[in-house]
Chain A
Amino acid sequence: MLHKCAPGHTWEPKTHRIHVTYRGSAFRALPTAGKLSKGHLECGWVRKMARKLNIVDCANKALPVLAN
């Protein structure tokens, strides 16, 4: 989804969280794989990241489950 909706984004895993940036906006709260209790990323994180990176419309099209 990020490759399609945020071309040129950066993805930088830090010690605790993943730091994603796109066009001057940043999202720092994505959990690293080891912190995911269910082994996958819940929609709440992706929705929040899409809002912070200003890619909501594209993200909802790429991942329709986000729009539910």
Chain B
Amino acid sequence: MADYPLIFTLTHEIRCPKFSARVVSRGRALMTVEDGLWWCHGVEPGSLTEQGSDPSVAFAAFKEALGEILQDLAGDASSFKAFERAAQEFIVDVDSIEALRWEAARLQITSGAQIETFFDRLPRETREIRAQVRVEQIDHILAAEENVVLAKAA
């Protein structure tokens, strides 16, 4: 296969002088090889792409870039509410051409195409997903997600 359709949920903590926010983004990306590099092209967010020497590096770069763009958006926002709107707009913005490639790649997987080992290890998702973003002001630690506990003496 040439194109691999990914669904992701990524969490970023954003801090700026006016507010601190946690952004949980659910979206789609297409991993593919171009010009000898792995590229992780955003479907939603459609305005994002990153590259790496292998898929894991490309995805790590994609996650880092998303955090950087959110940080840039926060820097421009006049308030938490303004940031929430800007983040929402950015994450759900679709690249319609990439979306067609993503659907075609998903159909290939369904039809039993040969999958490279790296991707074959990933869990499968058959449900339809919709890009969405949750933006909340940081006022608690996500203990379960981040495996944070309070230590006490035995």
Q: List residues of chain B with CB within 8 A of the CB of A68.
A: 35
Q: List residues of chain B with CB within 8 A of the CB of A29.
A: 42, 47-50, 65, 69
Kindly state whether residue B34 has any CB partner on chain A within 8 Å.
yes
Query: Taking each of A27, A42, A44, which has the highest tally of chain B beta carbons within 10 Å of its own beta carbon?
Result: A44
Kindly state whether residue B5 has any CB partner on chain A within 8 Å.
no
**Min CB gap A20→B, angstroms:** 10
A14 to B90, CA, bound (A): 16
Q: Mark A34-55, 1 if CB is under 8 A from B, else 0.
A: 0000000011110110011000
A29 to B91, CA, bound (A): 12
Q: List residues of chain A with CB within 8 A of the CB of B65.
A: 17, 29, 31
Closest B residue, CB atoms, query A56: B97
Q: List residues of chain B with CB within 8 A of the CB of A44.
A: 34-35, 37, 39, 41, 49, 51
**Min CB gap B44→A, angstroms:** 13
**Interface size, chain B (Cβ < 8 Å):** 24
Interface of B is mostly: mixed
Interface of A is mostly: mixed
Contact check, B71 vs A27: say whether CB atoms are below 8 A apart.
no
**Interface size, chain A (Cβ < 8 Å):** 19
- Which residues 45-62 in B have Cβ within 8 Å of A in the complex? 46-51
Kindly state whether residue A61 has any CB partner on chain B within 8 Å.
no
Contact check, B75 vs A15: say whether CB atoms are below 8 A apart.
yes
**Min CB gap B68→A, angstroms:** 4
Q: A42-B35, A43-B34 are in contact. Are A28 and B49 (CB under 8 A)?
A: no
Query: Taking each of A16, A26, A29, A68, which has the highest tally of chain B beta carbons within 10 Å of its own beta carbon?
Result: A29
Contact check, A15 vs B47: say whether CB atoms are below 8 A apart.
no
A-B contact pairs, 20 of them (CB 8 A): A14-B72, A15-B68, A15-B72, A15-B75, A19-B72, A26-B47, A28-B47, A28-B72, A28-B73, A28-B90, A29-B47, A29-B49, A29-B69, A31-B65, A42-B35, A44-B49, A47-B34, A48-B95, A51-B95, A52-B47
B residues lining the A interface (CB < 8 Å) = 34-35, 37, 39, 41-42, 46-51, 65, 68-69, 71-73, 75-76, 90, 95, 97-98
